[in-house]
Structure 1
Amino acid sequence: MVSTGVGSKIKRALGLQEPPTNPLNAKASEIVTRHEPDPTVTEWLKEVTPSGSQVQSYFVQLFPFLGWIMHYNKKWFLGDLVAGITVGAVVIPQGMGYARLANLPVQFGLYTSFVGVLIYWLFATSKDISIGPVAVMSTLVGTIITDVQSIHPGIPEVQIAMSIAVACGGIVTFMGLARLGFIVDFIPLPSIAAFTTGSAITISSGLIKQLLGETADFSTRGPAYRVIIDSLKHLPTSSRYDAAMGVSALGMLYLIRIGCSYGARKHPQHAKTFFFISSLRAAMVIFTFTAISAAVNIHHPNRPVFAIVGAIPRGFQDAGVPKLSSDAIKTFAPQLPACVIVLLLEHIAISKSFGRINNYTIDPSQELIAIGITNLLGPFLGGYTATGSFSRSAIQSKSGARTPFAGVITAIVVLIALYALTEVLCFTPKASLAGVIIHAVGDLITSPNTIYQFWLIAPSDAIIFAIGLLVALVDTIPNSIYATVALSLLVFLFRHAKAHGQFLARTWIGPQDAQRPLFLPADGCPELSLEQPRPGVFVYQFPEGLSYSNSNHYTELLVQTILRSTRCAGSQIYATKGDRPWNDPGFSDKDHESSNSRLPLLRAVVLDFSCVNHVDVTCIQNLMDVQKQLDHRTTAPAVQWHFANIKNRWTKRALAAAGFGYPHTLTETTVLEGNAVSESEFSSEDIKDVEKGIFSHDKRSQCVQSCEKRVSVESSLMGVLEREDRPFFHVDLISAMESVDAYFDQDLAVRFDV
């Protein structure tokens, strides 16, 4: 590249140096660029600067419902109606129970259920997700409320919960608007599985006290193992009436599910009926036990036989501008990352899953906007932190939801419950509600078969899952998330930093008259007859990409193998022993005459960049250092560096700026004056021994013909896909080896003066 005008003057003033150009070309102006010019900074700025249409598209995409609402029809509405009513019947008892987990009155669970499904459809890219209160997030909110009140006892529970929702909503909304949804991809499946399993066990253990009506005073917010021990220790304090209402409700839930599964298998023609019965089992159980409770306690609601939910305000009694507490926010700020991760994990994980099942694609960033706006606006109607629900989303999907508008139907069902059913729902037994929640979170536990599949696919992932589950049971759920994500990132970084490069060898496939080369790992296919490239030529592949973190590890293996497999010019390079560097011990005369003399000289290195999409300054400098180091192994001409399968133009530009891409000559610091190898070194005997007789004297004419043929092929290929000023950048390994053969043949032909 030749700079002109103002740019040239600035470069001269600052002392900036142009990248080296092909020394084989007479003049830079004669360089012919075929198809692919170097990228420029101006081009990069144009790529990253959004255009007017892109800005307009960005704002339109914030409201995905605009793309389908005009096509809404009667058939879609019927599907949404059935799904919305079904989910509404389920979310009412679940919302009440989850509010108890959050240490809040039950009506706040209904508020959250209403706001979540009502707002989500405006921003949704998934038709199956049902946003509202969930078990894990409710448990986390309840723990935070307890922790804050231990420091600031005067702050009400509702105020703390609203502060959590607004803080989480603001963070998640910003992430969505900044299109940071890809961050979720850094949380692997073992982390999610450990998180859900640990959460399910922790929640279930914390509800045993309420399920059995234990009257002993012990905390249910500690580690799961401690809560289980305390619950078993205080079993004698259980209330028989509460235990009857709780255990029988839990047993009935499992009986209905098992019976419906059996009926669907025996009578597949009625499978859909059994499905709806199974989906509504939570609502049926709650309403049944609420009716029993009302019949028993209707005449003495203030002295119930067993614990009940109690009075529920009619309508939105807590609607209004939320009162936030700065003291509360400062106290729970260290726990905000865990809250945000829980929101992202539950929602994005299930939305992606249902997208794959039902053949559509979600936009993670847009989904973050949806749950962020929900949590920002929810507190104005009394809602606390909400996200996507595993169980309700599965019901909505299987109930036949056609669009996100099903959430509006669910909101109407919850609204009816808030205004028409509060006088009945107040008799809901707390033990039965605990049974419903335990049954719901039981589906979150990872099955043993899934864990076994982790072990079969990647043992390290199974170990990460086990560690995450252990931390969740003996410590806290947030720490379990941190531990699994940190371990997964460490494993990823270790694999990347310690990635093993591999040398490739060649075999031939196809019919005898039309064979083509195939390059495979040199040590990976012992059953195949692989042949090495020409002696002194090495083909090396970077299977994990190339960056500052692993470049040194890659090149270390490359250099060690080359030093072990080639002979150094040795004593011929240095005029006296005193000229030899301290780190080059050289060879004894005996070694030089025996093993070293039988090894080939290093001629060319071919690097396969098929897995390299980006390079940085560190890895380019590393390649330059290796090039300089290997140049000491040979004499003129210098080692030729060929690059195959470079996909990225910026990678080509970086390599060219470092002097790669064309033949280079040894500098004076590399080859000392008067120490070139004499032509006698390349006798026919040496060639027979070292080069395995490929280029004996009687085949010099064939060598020249082969050289001319390969140069012709290489030139024609370059003319279509490559630049003439960078002949060592190749489209694939086949053209790279053709180029190596051509230069190799030319060099030997010149030395024999053919």
Structure 2
Amino acid sequence: MQDYSPLTYKQCIKKEIHTFPITLKNYIFGLLPIFQWIHRYNFSCFTDWLLQDAIAGITVGMLIVPQGIAYAKIANLDPQYGLYTSFVGVTLYCFFGTSKDISIGPITVVSLLVGQAISKVTEQHPDISGPEIAACLSLFAGMVTLVIGLIRVGILVDFISEPAIAGYMTGSAITISLGQLPKVFGIHVDTHQAPYLIVYSFFKHLNETKLDAAFGLTALVVLYAIKLGGIRLSNRVPALKKALFFLGIMRSGLVVIIGTLISYFINVHRKSNPVISIIEQVPAGFDAMGAASLNMTVLKEASGVLPSIILIMILEHVSVAKSFGRMSNYVIDPNQEILAIGISNIVGSFFGAYPCTGAFSRTAVMARSGAKTPMAGVFSGAVVVLALYVLTPAFYYIPESVLGSVVIHAVIDLVSGPKFMKELWRSSILEFFIFVIAVVVTCFIDVETGIYASVGLSLLLMLLRLARPTVSSLGRVKLNSKRAYSSSSNSSGHGYLERSTTSTTDALKDIYSIDKQDRYIYVEETDSHYTRLMDPLPPGVVVIRLSSSILYPNANYVSERITDIVRSRTQTGASSTNQEDRTWNHPSSKEDLLHRLVTKPYLDSIVLDFSAVDKLDATAIHILHSIQQAMDQYAAKTVEWHFCHINSIQVRQLLIQAGFGTIGGAESQSSGLKILNKTDEEVPNYGISDRSMQTINSLRDPMITMDDNFYSCYTAPKDCEYQSIVTLLPSDKYPAFHWDVEAAVYSISQSRQSEEVKRPSSITVTTY
């Protein structure tokens, strides 16, 4: 007999103590993944690997410099702070990350939130500078993410749905684009107000457009021309594909360089009064290095923005890392990735950096450039250091309108297109509305409110689905009748043996009862494909399938659904002739008589399909007991409870402890099971080959209890020797637990037949 003995608490503690040294060792080494791959560096092709990492890193470095400068402006900081942020992230990730493609640095949405936080704090406390606020935010965000990574609770990010992420990302991209629009045209507008107000102010002051528009619009056109034209040209001329790929990667840098050269020739003699807006002085080196501190005033004033910053940092990084890991066939560790961005932000705060995380655009460039290991990020950091120490004089003449165009071009890809929205509408209307609400709230209020709204609605939808699982009633459809099919009726030459074919098959069927029942599949009663094919279940048997675990949020709903299904398919066995004893919720004598005239059977047995149930809690067990008591009162007898497809040992043990493993309190009740005892003789050879008999006897276990349902017979083609292989599956030690629904229903029918033999005068039971 099959049984599963759960481990005692003492055994569990002993096991944990035994495995603790290995677990601790793996945990410590897991904190520095570089030790797991550095010794695998392909030294036979060292030059090739190193060269490929260098090419990918330098390519991303040339992209991250203009982006870092542009994103710093979004954060209301001077350009050099974007470079500080870029340097620390790409350099440290090599030691702590598990992805070869991720590039940590400033991103648009976080930059926007940091800018909003700086504006809010400086408005209330003018004595606190923007860089000080940014470093404080970076330190705090890094500490929180570091703790999340250390205690390994990165699973929390899985509770945020993709539509919610896409919603606030789309709204943020629209917000950022609209905020950069006045800068492209050289118009001075307050970009810290709601996006729709920015649009209103932009058109109100459109007549104030300056020469900056020529630079900004031209840069925007060139960026899209290179992007779209390169794709079409590479499809037509495959030989230019690689060159066009690198041109597409470098397009932002090239536009900034060309725009800066033109700006230099225009403004070189007019530094005091430039023709167009330029970023002007950028200090060389790491000018802002110093000890960062947690300013409680900053944290208090920015408390509404900080959770959004941390949430986006984690979601953006982990989702990007997972996506590129799937594309390149490697697996990342989400908890270690969160730890990596935590360390990057803590260290970055001492360099004057603001919060950073993995960026999708730069990660895509890193992957397409052929990075072999995380070492590529070190080369990106080297490019940033070179820019800080050598190129800062050239940054003086970079046009702000060109940087605005670079930002718009970068963030526009974050906007979800019509294809995504169409697929979302088809798959889930509720999630589509969450997406729309996130976009609308972000655009009309602010980014953090949009984030909270989308995440809150996403979690609410998840809880709603958890609290309202599908509980369905099953019916059965016959697969084959009691007549067997001959092998000659099968075009492939395979089939079941006819009863009259040979004495061998007759003997086997007599021994193993193969033809004693028809074969059924169990489907939902509401499935229109099987409505006309369904056979009735044995009278009084109700089969119910649960679609999820039973936990406290859905336990009461599951109880209601089970009760409703049972009551709608059976009639009560309790009647009250004495009107004084009748309770308010019981039918009157007249109603009771009419109810009994309905051709519904009396409730006898409930079969629960637990194939989707892998968790039960205390509330679930209490609810199951309540249903059991209610059904016993309803049926005026002890109702049999049968469970099938129990895949979780924990669920099985909880049911046993709650008393659901037995039927009628008799654990030894056989319910129609056939016992093979130790004294049984071997299966006799009824004309079967010796090899087949060896297979049959080798499968037998003298202590195994079998349902007749689990003996199956397969035959070879007609021109071969009939080699019947009988597969014996052990039944559960507890008679209320079964392999599948068919075994449960068959066990109930066999039990009824046994009772009918013992009590021939009892109610007639329909044969299964």
Task: From 703, 708, 712, give the equivalent of 1:713.
Answer: 708
Aligned partner of 1:175 in structure 2 is 148
Verify the 8 A CA contact 2:579 2:588 in the aligned structure 1.
no
Verify the 8 A CA contact 2:540 2:602 in the aligned structure 1.
yes
Task: From 551, 556, 565, give the equivalent of 1:552.
Answer: 556
1:309-324 equivalence runs, <5 A: 309-324=279-294
Amino acid at match of 2:528: C
Q: CA deviation at 1:576?
A: 4.0
Q: CA deviation at 1:714?
A: 7.5
CA distance in 2, matches of 1:260, 1:712: 68
Bigger mean CA offset, 37-46 vs 297-306: 37-46
Aligned partner of 1:80 in structure 2 is 53
Q: CA deviation at 1:320?
A: 2.1
CA distance in 2, matches of 1:210, 1:594: 81
Amino acid at match of 2:613: V
Verify the 8 A CA contact 1:256 1:281 in the aligned structure 2.
yes
1:227 aligns to 2:198 (yes or no): yes
Verify the 8 A CA contact 2:142 2:341 in the aligned structure 1.
yes
Aligned partner of 1:64 in structure 2 is 33
1:436 aligns to 2:440 (yes or no): no
Structure 2: state its 5+ residue gaps.
Answer: 486-495, 497-517, 667-704, 713-726, 763-768
1:66-215 equivalence runs, <5 A: 66-72=35-41, 73-215=46-188
Q: CA deviation at 1:408?
A: 0.5
Q: CA deviation at 1:144?
A: 0.1
Aligned partner of 2:625 in structure 1 is 624
1:52 aligns to 2:53 (yes or no): no
Q: CA deviation at 1:115?
A: 0.6
Aligned partner of 1:661 in structure 2 is 661
Deviation string 1:238-262 (CA, Å, 9 cap, x unpaired) is 21x2111211111111111122112
Q: Normalising by the residue count of structure 1, what TM-score does the alignment of the two structures yield?
A: 0.85
Structure 1 residues 442, 567: CA separation in 2 closer, same or farther (over 3 Å shift)?
Answer: closer
Q: CA deviation at 1:448?
A: 1.0
Aligned partner of 2:313 in structure 1 is 343
Aligned partner of 2:640 in structure 1 is 640
Aligned partner of 1:36 in structure 2 is 4
Amino acid at match of 1:38: P
Structure 1 residues 260, 475: CA separation in 2 closer, same or farther (over 3 Å shift)?
Answer: same
CA distance in 2, matches of 1:258, 1:214: 29
Aligned partner of 2:396 in structure 1 is 426
Q: Secondary structure of the equivalent of 2:634?
A: coil
1:751 aligns to 2:759 (yes or no): yes
Q: CA deviation at 1:721?
A: 4.4
Q: Secondary structure of the equivalent of 1:578?
A: coil
1:286-305 equivalence runs, <5 A: 286-305=256-275
Verify the 8 A CA contact 2:706 2:729 in the aligned structure 1.
no
Aligned partner of 1:612 in structure 2 is 613
Q: CA deviation at 1:464?
A: 0.8
Task: From 510, 519, 523, give the equivalent of 1:516.
Answer: 519
Q: Secondary structure of the equivalent of 2:735?
A: coil
Q: CA deviation at 1:59?
A: 0.8
Bigger mean CA offset, 168-177 vs 355-364: 355-364
1:328 aligns to 2:298 (yes or no): yes
Bigger mean CA offset, 196-205 vs 578-587: 578-587
CA distance in 1, matches of 2:546, 2:77: 56
Q: Kindly indicate which of the two structures has a greater share of residues assigned to helix.
A: 1
Q: Secondary structure of the equivalent of 1:68?
A: helix
1:591 aligns to 2:593 (yes or no): yes
Bigger mean CA offset, 552-561 vs 620-629: 552-561
CA distance in 1, matches of 2:15, 2:200: 60
CA distance in 2, matches of 1:642, 1:182: 35
Q: Secondary structure of the equivalent of 1:600?
A: coil
Structure 1 residues 192, 660: CA separation in 2 closer, same or farther (over 3 Å shift)?
Answer: same
Verify the 8 A CA contact 2:542 2:569 in the aligned structure 1.
no
CA distance in 2, matches of 1:364, 1:398: 22
Verify the 8 A CA contact 2:106 2:355 in the aligned structure 1.
yes
CA distance in 2, matches of 1:417, 1:112: 13
Amino acid at match of 2:377: G
CA distance in 2, matches of 1:110, 1:582: 77
Aligned partner of 2:207 in structure 1 is 236
Verify the 8 A CA contact 2:134 2:352 in the aligned structure 1.
no
Q: Secondary structure of the equivalent of 1:607?
A: strand
Aligned partner of 1:449 in structure 2 is 419
Aligned partner of 2:568 in structure 1 is 564
Verify the 8 A CA contact 1:35 1:722 in the aligned structure 2.
no
CA distance in 2, matches of 1:539, 1:608: 7
Verify the 8 A CA contact 1:721 1:731 in the aligned structure 2.
no
Alpha-carbon RMSD? 2.4
Q: Percent identity?
A: 35
Task: From 288, 311, 326, give the equivalent of 1:356.
Answer: 326
Task: From 474, 492, 504, give the equivalent of 2:462.
Answer: 492
Structure of greater relative contact order (alpha carbons < 8 Å, 6+ residues apart): 1
Structure 1: state its 5+ residue gaps.
Answer: 1-32, 667-709
1:481 aligns to 2:484 (yes or no): no
Structure 1 residues 593, 341: CA separation in 2 closer, same or farther (over 3 Å shift)?
Answer: closer
Aligned partner of 1:738 in structure 2 is 746
Structure 1 residues 634, 264: CA separation in 2 closer, same or farther (over 3 Å shift)?
Answer: same
Amino acid at match of 1:563: R
Structure 1 residues 564, 595: CA separation in 2 closer, same or farther (over 3 Å shift)?
Answer: farther
1:9-24 equivalence runs, <5 A: none
Q: CA deviation at 1:230?
A: 0.7
Q: CA deviation at 1:361?
A: 1.5
CA distance in 2, matches of 1:368, 1:272: 34
Verify the 8 A CA contact 2:475 2:524 in the aligned structure 1.
yes
Deviation string 1:26-70 (CA, Å, 9 cap, x unpaired) is xxxxxxx74411343334545777611011101111111212111
Verify the 8 A CA contact 1:499 1:554 in the aligned structure 2.
yes
Verify the 8 A CA contact 1:83 1:396 in the aligned structure 2.
yes
CA distance in 2, matches of 1:352, 1:429: 36
